[in-house]
Amino acid sequence: MSWRSEATVLAVAFGYLALLFLIAAWGDRRAERGRSIIGSPTIYALSIAVYCTAWTFYGSVGRAAETGPSFLLIYLGPTLAMLLAPFVTRKMVRIARAQRLTSIADFISARYGKSTGLGALVALIALVGITPYIALQLKAITLSHAVLVDYPEATGGTLENAPFWADKSFWVALVLAVFIILFGTRHLDASERHEGMVAAIAFESLVKLTAFLAVGAFTVFVLYRGPGELFARVAETPALLEVLGLAAVPGGALGWVGTLALAFLAFLGLPRQFQVMVVENVDERHITRAAWLFPLYLLAINLFVMPIALAGLLGDAGGNPDGFVLTLPLGTGAEGLPLLVFIGGLSAATGMMIVETIALSTMVSNQLVMPLLLRARLLPRGGQGALAGWVLGVRRLAILAILLLGYGYHALVGDAYSLVTIGLVSFAAAAQFTPALLIGLYWRGANRMGAGLGLTAGFVLWAWTLLIPGFAQSGWLDAGFLTQGPFGIEWLRPYALFGLEGWDIYTHALLWSLVANVGLLVGVSLFTRQSSLEQTQAALFTEALHPRLDQASLGHAGHTPRGELRALLDRYLGAATTARVFAEEPDQDDRHPASPALVARGERALAGALGSASARVLIDSVVRGEALDLPALLSILDTTSETLEMNRRLEQKSRELERAGEALREANERLRELDRLKDEFVAMVSHELRTPLTSIRAFAEILRDHRDLPDDKREHFLEVVVRESQRLSRLIEEILDLARLESGRLTLHPERLDLAELARRGVEAMQRPLEERGITLEVAFEADAAPVIGDPDRLEQVVINLLDNAGKFADATAPRVRLTLARHKRGFRLAVEDNGAGIAEDERERVFEKFHQIQHQDDGAPRARPRGSGLGLPISRGIVAHLGGRLWVEDAPTLGGACLVMELPEAPDDDAAPPTPPTAPASPAAE
């Protein structure tokens, strides 16, 4: 039995398809039991490898054989796109999940205000643009089958014109239709994941990679003994060296850029890539793994492309380079390997067809057929769930139709282009979606009108520069317009539009279609307005990654009776789904209005089944009133960002508050301390005032009540009253002075004066009172003249104060006080010392505190000398400080007691100069 016999090949091929069925069924059953097998980033990356179709499998070698390493550009584009996937794809996944979007047509339609027209346009472009691509897969299957079975007679030449029932590709298409209907339309909700299908696709990705690596290894290590020998052989054939070079790329450097851009844009715009990357995504985090795993897959599957192409060109395998992967092993008489390669190619082709057909059929049913039926009111007015069957029916019919359309294209046109050519034409069509997709994702201003016109223009130019020339080259049209232009208009020639010549046709087509597409999208958007729904959707899309946006309840502000909503969902989704939608608010009366959140859930459920545009139309039919508009949405967005901003600012504020609180506590503490000091001061003052007042009152009352007092007593008592009154006045004066000093409002009248003369006056004034108290006063002037700047009255007060004070502290039995005046550096020192006990070191500063009274021993004898108020020294220090001098306590040099020293700076020499005011600030006594 030959591995290559018709029967064996057919049996293996259909056996392989049966295996796919099993895998898909297993995947679906696991999903239903809640044990998903596709919840893995590796499976996700493998499913993205659906990008590698039969075109990769057979066509890469073909392209490498013709134009060298340029085939790599087709894989560099997606690699670049995957670098952006963690940002772009994640955003699309987030949006598609939130809005239950089912396809790229639905996505673009939803972005631009759930526009039915735009959705239909995208579906139409996809249908026209991608059908050739499906045809390409069928062509690959047919050709590879022919090569495998008929080698060496058939080596990938032309297709036989066989009737369709004898064409294996027709039957492959039918089998696939059954597969897709079974695994692609199990659920009405197209936004639900097709887990079985994804599992099968991931498996197919493994199969095609294995097969390609196998034939690659065979070529390099079996046909040649390693890459060394292969490349040595190539080096001997100068003609082949050109293939290795970069110059072979059509269109030169521009062609490179063009092909790279084309692959990049197409990867993002291809319906099947959107299906596996966005709709079928299970977990956003998988994107991160796929971002490097998928490019790695691309690297692996391209590893042997060049060696196989070179080996094919070197060897005598001959025939179409697209078939080298088969003819090389066949040429050695191998049979098992070619069959594996065939299965690999089959897996690449079927994988693409399955996903692409599911994506296209969803678009066709949701964006083209259902909106038309809804608008034409052709849907039956059936009861519960009646329309659910309709929707599924439409989708199944669409699957069949798409595959038959692909077969038709394959049978009629497919012969004209090589695999690569068909692929690139489809790529250019898919690339038209990317501007509306990407710009809409990041620019809120992009609108429906711009997207619609851009897409239309891009599509028209694509058709004119790539699709129609294809028909012409197939002989379906007169090819004359290719060279002369339509009606002889040269600048409209499809391959040299507007006189642009010398470019490769794809770069040329891509340039013109994208210029028109992007130009109109941006230009028209700038000059036209968005509807409110469009504004809402634009904001939702561009802000999709905004934190907590998905939780924002975006519903209708209008009024919808629950009953009507329930009836609507019942008709389209069936009882079970409707019950799920209503499950969160089950208890309410159906006559009540539905909550906005419920209406939003209902719309999302409908969108999953029918697409967002149709869902919006249906919901609008039961909602009375305005939908949530942009201002409402923006306020939600703003509230969210405001909340975040507010939180951030609150944190900052609370830190500031903490610091302020700390400062306040400290300030409060200081205030408390000041308050306490003030209370103490007031208490002291009141105490000091009460003391003389007590004597005055007591003696006044005595004098009043005892009119018969002897004269001497009466005289004595009156004298006490007078003296205590004076004391009271002095005290009040001192308190006021102190208050003025402390508040800085003490008015001094500084003038140039002789401190020596002033001291003499003070001594004269105190001589008698001190002598009366039995105190000996000594005076020693070491400077004859001591010019200083000062207020004479205040300074005299200070000198008297010092003398009086010293008198109090002088020795009780033989009290002595000594005043000295001497020059010291650039000033003068006036010192007053006594022969008392002295003042302890730690007491020396405290004597300048208010009301500080030094406790001194008392022999018990009645004191003849008056006690001080305790304010004299603080006031003196304040005055001296005001005049730029100092006042302090030190040991008495001569008498051994305490010594108070006042130092004042010498006045400026110039007698004629006007008195210079002191520069010292008017501050309280230094403490």
Partner 1 sequence: MTKVLVVDDEPNIVLSLEFLMQQAGFEVMTAEDGETALTRVAETRPDLVLLDISLPGIGGFDVLERLRADPDLARLPVIMLTAHGREVEREKGLALGADDYVTKPFSTRELVERVKALLGEAGQEGAS
Candidates 429-437, 455-463, 575-583, 683-691; binding stretch for partner 1 (CB under 8 A): 683-691
The Cα 554–Cα 636 span in angstroms is: 9
Q: CB–CB of 775/805 below 8 Å?
A: no
Query: Which residue lies nearer to partner 1 by CB, 237 or 694?
Result: 694
Report, in Å, the least distance between residue 851 CB and partner 1: 12
Q: Which residue from 590, 600, 122 is spatially nearest to 608, judged by alpha carbons? A: 600
Q: Residues 22, 644, 683, 822: which binds partner 1 (CB under 8 A)? A: 683
The letter for the amino acid at 722 is: V
Candidates 353-361, 535-543, 829-837, 861-869; binding stretch for partner 1 (CB under 8 A): 861-869
Q: CB–CB of 386/212 below 8 Å?
A: no
Query: Which residue lies nearer to partner 1 by CB, 529 or 706?
Result: 706
Contact call for residue 860 and partner 1 (CB under 8 A): yes
Candidates 17-25, 295-303, 426-434, 859-867; binding stretch for partner 1 (CB under 8 A): 859-867
Contact call for residue 640 and partner 1 (CB under 8 A): no
Q: Would you call the peptide bond into 152 cis, given omega within 30 degrees of 0 as the criterion?
A: yes
Query: Which residue lies nearer to partner 1 by CB, 209 or 684?
Result: 684
Q: Residues 332, 695, 767, 894: which binds partner 1 (CB under 8 A)? A: 695
How far, rounded to the nearest angstrom, does the alpha carbon of residue 777 sit from its chain's CA centroid?
A: 87
Query: Which residue lies nearer to partner 1 by CB, 159 or 689?
Result: 689
Report, in Å, the least distance between residue 714 CB and partner 1: 11
Half-sphere exposure of 253 (CA within 13 A, CB side): 0
The Cα 307–Cα 301 span in angstroms is: 12
The Cα 72–Cα 301 span in angstroms is: 11
Report, in Å, the least distance between residue 750 CB and partner 1: 38
Q: Residues 238, 333, 586, 862: which binds partner 1 (CB under 8 A)? A: 862
Q: CB–CB of 432/445 below 8 Å?
A: no
Query: Which residue lies nearer to partner 1 by CB, 604 or 727?
Result: 727
Q: Residues 587, 589, 841, 858: which binds partner 1 (CB under 8 A)? A: 858
Q: CB–CB of 297/54 below 8 Å?
A: no
Contact call for residue 697 and partner 1 (CB under 8 A): yes
Report, in Å, the least distance between residue 842 CB and partner 1: 20
Q: What angle do CA 236, 240, 246 make, to 5 degrees?
A: 125
Q: Residues 303, 634, 698, 812: which binds partner 1 (CB under 8 A)? A: 698
Query: Which residue lies nearer to partner 1 by CB, 529 or 863?
Result: 863
Report, in Å, the least distance between residue 886 CB and partner 1: 31
Could you give the C-alpha distances from 696 to 369, 724, 815, 832, 857, in angstroms and in order? 116, 6, 30, 33, 27
Query: Which residue lies nearer to partner 1 by CB, 253 or 840?
Result: 840
How far, rounded to the nearest angstrom, does the alpha carbon of residue 574 sit from its chain's CA centroid?
A: 41
Residue 830: strand, helix, or coil:
strand
Q: Residues 691, 725, 767, 894: which binds partner 1 (CB under 8 A)? A: 691
Query: Which residue lies nearer to partner 1 by CB, 796 or 811?
Result: 811
Candidates 8-16, 271-279, 452-460, 690-698; binding stretch for partner 1 (CB under 8 A): 690-698
Return the exposure string of 240-278: e unless at least 16 CB atoms fall within 10 Å of the residue's CB, then b.
Answer: beebbeeebbbbeebbbebbbbbbbbbbbbbbbbbbbbb
The letter for the amino acid at 444 is: R
Report, in Å, the least distance between residue 691 CB and partner 1: 5
Contacts (Cβ under 8 Å, ≥6 apart) of 651: none
Contact call for residue 687 and partner 1 (CB under 8 A): yes
Report, in Å, the least distance between residue 849 CB and partner 1: 17
Q: CB–CB of 621/558 below 8 Å?
A: no
Report, in Å, the least distance between residue 665 CB and partner 1: 27
The secondary structure element, H or E, covering residue 191 is: none
Contact call for residue 732 and partner 1 (CB under 8 A): no
Query: Which residue lies nearer to partner 1 by CB, 676 or 687?
Result: 687
x/- string (CB under 8 A) for partner 1, residues 866-905?
-x--------------------------------------
**Strand pairing class (898-905; 816-824):** unpaired
Q: Which residue from 171, 205, 283, 255 is spatially nearest to 46, judged by alpha carbons? A: 205
Contact call for residue 529 and partner 1 (CB under 8 A): no
Subset of residues 499 to 518 that bind partner 1, contact rule: CB under 8 A = none
Judged by CB under 8 A, how many residues of this single chain contact partner 1? 25
CB atoms within 10 A of CB 11: 11
Query: Which residue lies nearer to partner 1 by CB, 238 or 710?
Result: 710
User: Which pair of structure tokens corresponds to residue 221?
Assistant: 């290590």
Contact call for residue 837 and partner 1 (CB under 8 A): no
Q: CB–CB of 319/325 below 8 Å?
A: no
Contact call for residue 764 and partner 1 (CB under 8 A): no
The Cα 850–Cα 97 span in angstroms is: 80
Candidates 45-53, 310-318, 596-604, 696-704; binding stretch for partner 1 (CB under 8 A): 696-704
Contact call for residue 686 and partner 1 (CB under 8 A): yes
Contact call for residue 701 and partner 1 (CB under 8 A): yes
Interaxial angle between packed helices 168-184 and 116-150, expressed in degrees from 0 to 180 and rounded to the nearest 10: 130
Burial classification of residue 170, based on how many CB atoms lie within 10 Å of its CB (0-12 exposed, 13-18 middle, 19 or more buried): buried
Q: Residues 793, 863, 916, 927: which binds partner 1 (CB under 8 A)? A: 863
Candidates 187-195, 396-404, 503-511, 860-868; binding stretch for partner 1 (CB under 8 A): 860-868
The Cα 85–Cα 288 span in angstroms is: 8
Query: Which residue lies nearer to partner 1 by CB, 345 or 870?
Result: 870
Report, in Å, the least distance between residue 707 CB and partner 1: 13
The Cα 460–Cα 907 span in angstroms is: 103
Report, in Å, the least distance between residue 801 CB and partner 1: 21
The Cα 415–Cα 824 span in angstroms is: 121
Query: Which residue lies nearer to partner 1 by CB, 189 or 688?
Result: 688
Could you give the C-alpha distances from 599 to 300, 367, 623, 636, in angstroms and in order? 49, 22, 9, 18
Contacts (Cβ under 8 Å, ≥6 apart) of 705: none
Subset of residues 709 to 728 that bind partner 1, contact rule: CB under 8 A = 720, 724
DSSP 47: H
Query: Which residue lies nearer to partner 1 by CB, 589 or 705?
Result: 705
Q: Residues 326, 437, 696, 817: which binds partner 1 (CB under 8 A)? A: 696
Contact call for residue 729 and partner 1 (CB under 8 A): no
Contact call for residue 855 and partner 1 (CB under 8 A): yes
Contact residues for partner 1, defined by CB under 8 A: 683, 686-687, 690-691, 693-699, 701-702, 705-706, 720, 724, 855, 858, 860, 862-864, 867
